[in-house]
Structure 1
Amino acid sequence: MSTKILSRPPAATRAVEPLPTRPRKSAVGGGLGSKLTVNGLLILGSAYMIVPVLWLLFASTKNAADLYGTGAYSLGTFALFDNIKHVASQDGGIFFRWMANSVMYAGFGAVFGGLISVMAGYAFDKFQFKGKDSFYGIVLVGVLIPNTATVLPMYLLASQLGITNTMWAVLIPVLCNPFGVYLARVYSASYVPAETLEAARMDGAGPIRSFFSLGLPMMMPGYVTIGLFQFVGVWNNFMLPLVMLQNQQLLPVSVGISIWQGYSVPLPEFTPMVITGSLLSIIPLLVAFILLQRFWKSGLTSGSVK
């Protein structure tokens, strides 16, 4: 008996309809929107920084009459050199004495205050000692306290020591920079490998020699970055020298220009001098950033590369 295999009839094929898909956003459009947003914010930030400097540049070319009779961003009667001459001759050239004082205060704070910050940050990162976390917590609390809140206590301490109305009343406080200590610890963790210090210890180098021979050269970009922060902070410091100093020969340029600004209320001819002096006072900051920009850029990007 033969077995007959019956085949099933082919099933009716039915067209499969594709599922509806949501329209995708164009990657080009999304990327363009992000770029426009980022570039727009960068342009606004740059304008916030540059527009006041441009106003200073245009206003310094005007005399007292042009300041109130012309547009904000229009050139005056090219009185820039006359304004500089008046600034240089006022009170026997005291403006340049103020500039020299600011350079001394800011330079001292940048070099020695930055070095102390680097040494402290290096110690917090590489050394183990009792109360390390507690002391570092105190440093972080110091970062949160504004400088203006410490001016009165420092004045009382300076008066007890008898150093008010002296340059030491400004030089000693600028040696302390809690934010610089915090940055220095970050730089030390990124720049100085523990293996290198261990090899130096095996070769007989002590902690101090290891720091100055290995740690400090490796942290040099961070040192320059902290020094620039300190230089700008001390240069723009206003409240501390205003409270500590009464002798005009010891004032920094920030306080000196504010005194001239007070004179400009009854005497409008002081207004061009205030503007021109403000323009001249930013030149040392520009020079410092231009000369040290190589270290500045490498120091800012060092935290992301380890």
Structure 2
Amino acid sequence: MAVATAYVLIPLWWLVVGASKDQSQLIDGNPLWFTDFQLFSNISDLLNYRDGVFLRWLLNSVAYTGGAALLGTLFAGMCGYALAVYRFPGREVLFNIVLGGVLVPATALALPLFLMFSQIHAANTFWSVFLPSIVNPFGVYLARVYASASVPADLLEAARIDGAGEVRTFFTVSIRLMTPALVTIFLFHFVAIWNNFLLPLIMLGDEKLFPVTLGLYTWNSQVDQNPELRGLVLIGALISILPMILVFLSLQRFWRAGLGTGSLK
């Protein structure tokens, strides 16, 4: 476990150390230890480079990821709940189709999606990245499994007897019981969209619409022609992982609550 931990943390440590150095120290200095700590000046240089284009990329990633992850979690939770609670013809067939969607790699869907959006003249727009990112077949699968185990049929029947409709029952009763699963779905979906690279690469040509992953890739591909970008790529990569860390730290209490509730049942 110690070896595995070091294997994971050493690249992150190298990134933190590299982000605190200037250009000459990146090449000649110790790659795993600090020399002159210039992290904050490097951050200032990054945010001011080309009129703050990196900040625009970061806001684009927040818009793509935050909205799509929230909507994708809601839709996946509702779909998984319906597949778990209701009995209707074709339910298992529909669920098997969803499972098939889990098995299809995203790379296989990127080109067909581009052709579809091109036909409706929506390629190279915000929606060409946002709308495909909402779909989350794995979230539907996870929501169904969790809803089957955590939402008692007797509780739903009691809510119906009290006069609650199906939509109200879901949003006032069931969604609270499914909170740990929904948080898990949101985190998986958030990370997947934030790190998504291929879809924006295929869909977008306007630099102003780039997410931070694609923006840093374009800079990194220009390092040979513009060496000063090497340091900007490092500090940009460090900043780009901070939102994921903050989201994980802020939502982990819901996991703990779900685990504690399950241990008492």
TM-score (norm 2): 0.94
Among residues 236, 260, 266, which one is paired with 2:195 in the alignment?
236
RMSD of equivalent CA atoms: 1.7
Report the equivalent of 2:177: 218
Q: Deviations over 1:111-147 (max 9, x none)?
A: 1110001001101100111111111111111111111
Deviation at 1:205, TM superposition (A): 2.1
**CA distance in structure 1 between the aligned counterparts of 2:254 and 2:151, rounded to whole angstroms:** 17
Higher Rg of the two aligned structures = 1
Alpha-carbon distance between aligned partners in 1 of 2:52 and 2:6, rounded to the nearest angstrom: 34
2:221 aligned counterpart, secondary structure = helix
Residue in 2 aligned with 1:47? Answer: 6
Measure the CA separation in 2 of the matches of 1:285 and 1:67. Answer: 26
- Equivalent residue in structure 2 for 1:286, among 228, 237, 245: 245
1:31-46 aligned within 5 A: 42-46=1-5
Q: Residues 207-226 of structure 1: CA distance to partner in whole angstroms, max 9, x if unpaired?
A: 21211121112112211111
The match for 2:63 is 104
CA deviation profile, 1:216-258 (whole Å, cap 9, x unmatched): 1211221111111111110000001111111111110000000
Report what 1:138 is aligned to: 97
CA drift at 1:190: 2.3
Q: Which residue of 1 aligns with 2:209?
A: 250
SS in 2 for 1:214: helix
Aligned partner of 2:25: which letter? D
- Residues 113 and 175 of structure 1 are in contact (CA less than 8 Å); yes or no, is this contact kept in structure 2? yes
Pair 1:124-2:83 in alignment: yes
How far off its partner does 1:305 sit?
Answer: 7.6
- Show structure 1 runs of 4+ deviating over 3 A: 296-306
2:156 to 197, 206, 222: 197
Give the number of aligned pairs.
265
- Of 184, 199, 205, the match for 2:143: 184
Secondary structure of the corresponding residue to residue 211 of structure 1: helix
Partner in structure 1 of residue 46 of structure 2: 87
**Residues 135 and 78 of structure 1: CA distance in aligned 2, closer, same or farther (over 3 Å):** same
Cα distance in structure 1, aligned partners of 2:112 and 2:132: 11
In structure 2, C-alpha distance between the alignment counterparts of 1:302 and 1:233, rounded to whole Å: 28
| Correspondent of 1:269 among 228, 231, 236 | 228
**1:263 alignment partner, SS class:** coil
Pick one of 78, 84, 102 that aligns with 2:37: 78
Residues 65, 301 of structure 1: alpha-carbon distance in 2 compared, 3 angstrom cutoff: farther
Q: Deviations over 1:90-112 (max 9, x none)?
A: 11001011111111111112211
Q: Once structures 1 and 2 are overlaid, which stretch shifts more, 91-100 or 72-81?
A: 72-81
Q: Distance in 1 between matches of 2:90 and 2:111?
A: 29
Check 1:45–1:180 CA distance in 2 against 1; reply closer, same or farther (3 A cut).
farther
When normalised by structure 1's length, the TM-score is: 0.82
- 1:244-284: CA deviation from partner (whole Å, max 9, x where unpaired): 11111111000000011011122211101000000011111
Checking the alignment, whether the CA contact within 8 Å between 1:174 and 1:234 is kept in structure 2 is: yes
Structure 1 gap segments, 5+ residues each: 1-41
> Displacement of 1:301 after TM fit?
7.7
- The Cα of 1:299 is off from its aligned counterpart by 4.9
- Asked if the contact 1:63/1:76 (under 8 Å) is kept, the reply is no
Aligned to 1:3: none
% same residue: 44
Of 115, 121, 128, which aligns to 1:156? 115
Cα shift at 1:175: 1.2
**What CA distance in whole angstroms lies between the structure 1 residues aligned with 2:112 and 2:53?**
30
| Cα offset, 1:300, TM superposition | 6.8
Aligned 8 A contact 1:263 1:270 in 2:
yes
Is 1:64 equivalent to 2:23 in the alignment? Answer: yes
